[in-house]
Amino acid sequence: MTEAPLKKANRSLTRQLWIFAAGSFAFGFALVPLYNVICDVTGYGDRTKLVEASSFTAPEDKNRLVTIELLSDSPAIGDWEFRPAVGSIEVHPGRLSEAKFYARNLRNQAVVAQAIPSIAPLQATKYFHKTECFCFTPQPFDAQQERELTVRFIVDPKLPVNIDRLTLSYVMYDAKSTS
């Protein structure tokens, strides 16, 4: 190619490649709604279900034991001591069970806390029914107050047989910073 057409061709290809790069940048952000859509469609890690009370009943399956591991996380926001009372419990599917967490506000002022739950593996989310949970509503704490927090739940006997172990984890946040 001679000089002038080459310059023109270079410029136009460069422009196209910059548009490509900009498209990739946009695609990175498009992955966010895409991810949420996939979660909604499949019901994996369904966030609305995780924080809603359910009135579920099913016959207890005494032949099966599912291990529920309990985890707690403290986020960068806020200042909490937060841990499960025990590391794991074993439950029969269909039976109403209970787990306790312990939380303490480490600051010298009253704070409203919000716990956010999560279940792993994700596909087990729809088989985990909470009848009562400290994560349903914001929890007020006085300065330095410590409290026991309770969650009551029923594991659906329809939980796929290849899952014998669930992890229920909570993160404790300052409710103010979440709004």
Partner 1 sequence: MAHAHDAHAHDHHDDHGPAKGIGRWLFATNHKDIGTLYMLFSLLMFFVGGTMALVIRAELFQPGMQLVDPMFFNQMTTMHALIMIFGAVMPAFVGLANWMIPLQVGAPDMALPRMNNFSFWILPFAFTMLIGTLFVPGGAPAGGWTMYPPLSQQTGEAFPMLIFAVHLMGASSIMGAINVIVTIMNMRAPGMSLLKMPIFVWTWLITAYLLIAVMPVLAGAVTMLLTDHYFGTTFFEAAGGGDPVMFQHIFWFFGHPEVYIMILPAFGIVSEIIPTFSRKPLFGYDAMVYATASIAFLSFIVWAHHMFTVGMPLAGQMFFMLATMLIAVPTGVKVFNWTATMFKGSISFEPPMLFAISFLFLFTIGGFSGLMLAIVPADFQYHDTYFVVAHFHYVLVPGAVFSLMAAAYYWLPKWTGHMYNMKLAKAHFWLSTIFVNVLFFPQHFLGLAGMPRRIPDYSTQFADWNMISSIGAFGFGLSQLLFVYIVVSCIRGGEKASDKVWDSGRPHGLEWTLSSPPPYHSFETAPEVK
Q: Which residues here bind partner 1, judged by CB under 8 A?
A: 1, 3, 6, 9-10, 13-14, 17-18, 20-25, 27-29, 31-32, 35, 39, 42, 44-45, 47, 73, 75-77, 114, 116, 118, 120-123, 162, 167, 171, 173, 177-178
Per DSSP, 77 falls in state S
Buried b (16+ CB within 10 A) or exposed e, 34-65: eeeeeeeeeeebbeebbbeeeebeeeebeeee
One-letter amino acid at 142 equals D
Question: How far apart are CB 81 and partner 1 at their closest, in Å?
Answer: 17
Question: How far apart are CB 76 and partner 1 at their closest, in Å?
Answer: 5
CA neighbor of 141 nearest in space, from 115, 174, 111, 179: 111
Looking at the Cβ atoms of 46 and 60, the one nearer to partner 1 is: 46
Question: How far apart are CB 116 and partner 1 at their closest, in Å?
Answer: 4
At 78 the three-state DSSP class reads coil
Question: How far apart are CB 59 and partner 1 at their closest, in Å?
Answer: 26
Looking at the Cβ atoms of 60 and 73, the one nearer to partner 1 is: 73
Q: Which residues pair with 153 in a beta bridge?
A: 97, 130
Looking at the Cβ atoms of 18 and 52, the one nearer to partner 1 is: 18
